[in-house]
Amino acid sequence: MKVGRGNARDQEFHDFVSARRAGLVRTATLLTGGDAHTAEDLVQTTLTRLYVAWPSFRAARNPDGYLRRALVNCLVDEHRRPWRRAERSTAVPPETEAPVSADEPEAAGEVRRALRELPPRMRAAVVFRYFYELDIAETADALGCSTGTVKSQTARGLDRLREALDRSVSGAVI
């Protein structure tokens, strides 16, 4: 059923989500270490907050930065709520994380596992700084931390991912 969009906020928000949702899901998938279910939940939570704070978002000088920070805040909140994760586990699971397919190289599976094992903020640092190639200041803004923290978190996160990659290539038992 279509939702009536009788006010400017609804219309603007609808247009924004229509244009940006697919990219948000993709980013959220990385931020959650490849867990599609949690990524969708993260996007929904972020968008709900965005709707509530729509005037602030509209007034933001850097809307993309605002959005990234909202995503990270919701990601961290997800880890603050163990009861929510448990509740999901009791629900009928939809298609959650994409299983490692038979044709996925072993190395890809190792990177996926290593990414998921990173602490959420370290994962976010790697995703924004390395994958999306944001500069240090933009990444620091997204994470709400110092540039020094971005550097150290990104370096440590990348080290762990590369170690996983190296192990898979060398055939070592993980």
Partner 1 sequence: MSDLRQYLDRIAGPEHPPAPGTVDSDVTRGRVALRRKRQVHGLLGGALALVAVGALGVAVVTAGPPAERGGDRIEAAPSAAPATPGGTASAVDTGGASGVRLVAFAGDQPEGFTIDMVPEGWEIQSSVATTLLIAPIGLPDRNPDSFANKITVSLQDEAPGAGVPGEQVTVAGRPAALWTSEDGVRTLFVPLGDGAYLNVQLWNNLRWDTATIAEFAAGITVTDDVQRSRG
Binding stretches for partner 1 (CB under 8 A): 1-3, 5, 10, 13-14, 17-18, 21-23, 25-27, 29-30, 33-34, 36, 44-45, 47-52, 54, 76-77, 80-84, 86-87, 90-91, 98, 104, 107-108, 111-112, 115, 121, 127, 130-131, 144, 158, 161-162, 165
Residues 6+ apart with CB under 8 A from 166: none
Shortest gap between Cβ of 58 and partner 1 (angstroms)? 14
Terminal alpha carbon distance of the chain: 49
Radius of gyration from C-alpha coordinates of the chain: 18
What CA–CA distances, in Å, run from 14 to 1, 50, 74, 165, 173? Answer: 15, 12, 20, 40, 48
Q: Which tokens is 146 given?
A: 């110092």
Nearer to partner 1, 36 or 136 (CB): 36
Nearer to partner 1, 56 or 62 (CB): 56
Shortest gap between Cβ of 74 and partner 1 (angstroms)? 8
